[in-house]
Amino acid sequence: MLGVKHFSGGGDARPGDSRWARDEAPERVAGYRARRLVGLARLGATTGSDRERRGGLASLGAGARRCAACEARGAWLALAAVALAFLSAGVARADDATPLVILVHGGAGVINKADLTSEREARYRAGLEAARDAGYAVLERGGTSLDAVTAAVRSLEDDPYFNAGRGAVLNHDGVAELDASIMDGKTLAAGAVAGLKHVKNPIELARAVMEKSPHVMLMGPGAEEFALEQGLALVPNSYFRTDERVRQLERALKEEKEKALRTSGAMNSARSVGPRRSATIDRAAAVAAGDESFEAAPIGTSGTVGAVALDRFGNLAAATSTGGLTAKRAGRIGDSPIIGAGTYADNKSCAVSSTGDGEFFIRAVVAHDVCALMAYKNISLNAAAHEVIHEKLEGLKASGGVIALDQAGNIVMDFNSDGMFRASRDSRGRKDFAIYRERR
Ligand code: ASP
């Protein structure tokens, strides 16, 4: 097993060292650092709000001991707090002018109905609905759209069925490299991270970059050093790896080899095709070169996740997280962490999270393009998304889709691929899940 066995051994590596850049280098980190990682990983399991809650409870307990005579006043205060909470929950209810809305996706691509057993479908459904409901619960409590999309994406990152966080696809070297981004439609503040190998929840780091650093995007070792400073949970790379992703990589490498043998001839193919060409990445190149015969990636090799939300304050937010493409070249970065391509949010137009052929989504600046079309052409969200997905992307022979939402609560979950795992919920009573065009 990669990683774990080295976790507490090795030299005195720092993230800037070349050793850190090697596959299992972080697992060889020196004792002091391993202890720090483990300690911080544990700390990461305790959120700020948990800590605040505990602190609050502790001081409440001390206060109660110090002032037993205040109990009656305390009871009145508690009653008032309950009444306030009830009222503020009411503000966010369905009849309000600003609906609460959350949309989530779990990736788009070739989703062969024959490959999707009912057990698998049920598992995807459960994961997406849990994420959607986690985000919606935040909105219902009066929380912000930023908190809602963070909660939804974190839930999908923790679900090994999706290609983000645990269960992320593996690169050509068998390593998970993770990307994520988030954007606040109210302020246009944004945070993005790329090439992570140890951050348990990349979306939390993207959020920290947005809120706790002067930057928009951090990558690789520098980003992970920042995660350490922020007390986020760090894990060995083997945490992300699942048996299914290992099998997918093996299949992709085998296909790559067979393709090389077919194209170059059995004798010289091993020499003429470098070991780092990626079967999945080759799909994009094949499509660009007009090679229609290239087989599409099978179900489960995509599975990027994303969420967009509208809160009671009328603010939009978007977030996306991914392991990228199976067998991608080490260091490859797709559209998901690129603000404007994978993620964009602007209260003046819309919030978008994309999924699909990343190289094309970057070129087409998909997420921003949907927002820009709305703003510049003064067209509906639906028309803008349609133009980007069915005209621009199809013109490029690129496959994928978006989830998008505007300030009025209009939604789009559109794609030009076979399907897109998606779910939605709003305060007007909408609550659904779908994969293919028809709603389930
Ligand atoms: N867009 C992602 C990437 O290229 C992959 C996906 O959405 O499936 O990294």
CA of 358, closest atom in ligand 1:
4
Please name the residue whose Cα sits nearest to atom 4 of ligand 1: 358
Q: Which of 49-63, 100-114, 297-311 has the lowest mean pLDDT?
A: 49-63
Number of domains in the chain: 2
| Predicted local distance difference test score (pLDDT) of residue 263 | 80
Going by pLDDT thresholds of 50, 70 and 90, the confidence category of residue 262 is confident
| Predicted local distance difference test score (pLDDT) of residue 76 | 60
Residue 145 in domain: yes
Residue 217 in domain: yes
Residue 55 in domain: yes
Question: Are 215 and 122 in a shared domain?
Answer: yes
Question: Are 90 and 148 in a shared domain?
Answer: no
Pairing of strands 190-196, 217-219: parallel
Query: What's the CA-to-centroid distance between 284 and ligand 1, angstroms?
Result: 11
Indicate the residue among 51, 77, 94 that finishes a domain. Answer: 94
Residue 20 in domain: yes
Residue 248 in domain: no
In the three-class reduction of DSSP (H, G, I as helix; E, B as strand; rest coil), residue 179 is classed as strand
Query: What's the CA-to-centroid distance between 17 and ligand 1, angstroms?
Result: 29
The winner for highest mean pLDDT among 50-54, 301-305, 348-352 is 348-352
The answer to whether 398 and 360 are in contact (CB under 8 A) is: yes
Query: What's the CA-to-centroid distance between 114 and ligand 1, angstroms?
Result: 23
More confident residue, 266 or 196: 196
CA of 359, closest atom in ligand 1:
4
| Predicted local distance difference test score (pLDDT) of residue 111 | 75
In percent, how much of the chain has pLDDT > 70?
Answer: 69
* Choice from 287, 304, 328, 359 to test ligand 1 binding pocket (greatest atom count within 8 A of CB): 304
Whole-angstrom Cα distance, residue 362 to residue 315? 25
| Predicted local distance difference test score (pLDDT) of residue 98 | 86
The answer to whether 393 and 359 are in contact (CB under 8 A) is: no
* Choice from 162, 283, 336 to test ligand 1 binding pocket (greatest atom count within 8 A of CB): 336
The winner for highest mean pLDDT among 11-25, 112-126, 278-292, 413-427 is 413-427
Question: Are 138 and 76 in a shared domain?
Answer: no
In the three-class reduction of DSSP (H, G, I as helix; E, B as strand; rest coil), residue 339 is classed as strand
Query: Which token pair is 416?
Result: 């030009």
Whole-angstrom Cα distance, residue 256 to residue 263? 11
Question: Are 192 and 325 in a shared domain?
Answer: yes
Question: Are 215 and 345 in a shared domain?
Answer: yes
Please name the residue whose Cα sits nearest to atom 7 of ligand 1: 355
DSSP 251-316: HHHHHHHHHHHHHH-TTTHHHHS-TT--HHHHHHHHHHTT-TTSPPPPTTS---EEEEEE-TTS-E
| 408 to 77, 96, 116, 385: CA distances (angstroms) | 37, 12, 35, 16
Question: Are 61 and 124 in a shared domain?
Answer: no
* Choice from 357, 362, 396 to test ligand 1 binding pocket (greatest atom count within 8 A of CB): 357
- The DSSP element (H or E) to which 432 belongs, if any, is strand 431-434
**Phi, psi (5° rounding) for residue 330?**
-55, 130
Question: Are 239 and 327 in a shared domain?
Answer: yes
Structural domain of residue 21, as residue ranges? 4-94
Please name the residue whose Cα sits nearest to atom 9 of ligand 1: 324
Nearest by Cα to 351 from 98, 104, 91, 132: 104
DSSP state of 234: B
Q: In whole angstroms, what separates CA 266 from the centre of its chain?
A: 41
Question: Are 31 and 173 in a shared domain?
Answer: no
Question: Are 307 and 329 in a shared domain?
Answer: yes
What is the residue-averaged pLDDT of the chain? 79
More confident residue, 416 or 21: 416
Is the pLDDT at 47 greater than 60, yes or no? no
Indicate the residue among 41, 66, 94 that finishes a domain. Answer: 94
Whole-angstrom Cα distance, residue 196 to residue 199? 6
Q: Dihedral of CA 434/435/436/440: which sign? A: negative
DSSP 186-200: TT--EEEEEEESSBS
Question: Are 48 and 127 in a shared domain?
Answer: no
Q: What is the mean pLDDT of residues 153-167?
A: 97
Place of tokens 């057993």: 117
Query: What's the CA-to-centroid distance between 309 and ligand 1, angstroms?
Result: 21
CA of 342, closest atom in ligand 1:
1
Nearest by Cα to 243 from 166, 305, 299, 311: 166
| Predicted local distance difference test score (pLDDT) of residue 77 | 60
CA of 163, closest atom in ligand 1:
8
CB neighbour list of residue 302: distance below 8 Å, 6 or more residues apart? 107, 108, 109, 163, 325, 355, 356
Ligand 1 first shell, C-beta below 6 A: 107, 302, 304, 322, 324-325, 334-336, 355-356, 358, 361
CA of 303, closest atom in ligand 1:
8
Query: What's the CA-to-centroid distance between 211 and ligand 1, angstroms?
Result: 25
Tell me the β-bridge partners of 431.
425
Going by pLDDT thresholds of 50, 70 and 90, the confidence category of residue 30 is very low
Indicate the residue among 30, 62, 94 that finishes a domain. Answer: 94
Residue 308 in domain: yes
Going by pLDDT thresholds of 50, 70 and 90, the confidence category of residue 134 is very high
Is the pLDDT at 131 greater than 60, yes or no? yes
Is the pLDDT at 265 greater than 50, yes or no? yes
Q: What is the mean pLDDT of residues 307-319?
A: 98
Q: What is the CATH number of the domain that holds 394?
A: 3.60.20.30
| Predicted local distance difference test score (pLDDT) of residue 109 | 80
The winner for highest mean pLDDT among 104-118, 215-229, 246-260 is 215-229
Is the pLDDT at 205 greater than 90, yes or no? yes
Whole-model pTM: value is: 0.76
Residue 280 in domain: no
Question: Are 50 and 194 in a shared domain?
Answer: no
Please identify every residue annotated as catalytic: 304
Question: Are 63 and 200 in a shared domain?
Answer: no
Residue 350 in domain: yes
Count other Cβ atoms within 10 Å, centred on residue 36.
14
The answer to whether 12 and 202 are in contact (CB under 8 A) is: no
Going by pLDDT thresholds of 50, 70 and 90, the confidence category of residue 61 is very low
Query: What's the CA-to-centroid distance between 244 and ligand 1, angstroms?
Result: 18
More confident residue, 328 or 289: 328
Going by pLDDT thresholds of 50, 70 and 90, the confidence category of residue 31 is very low
DSSP state of 68: G
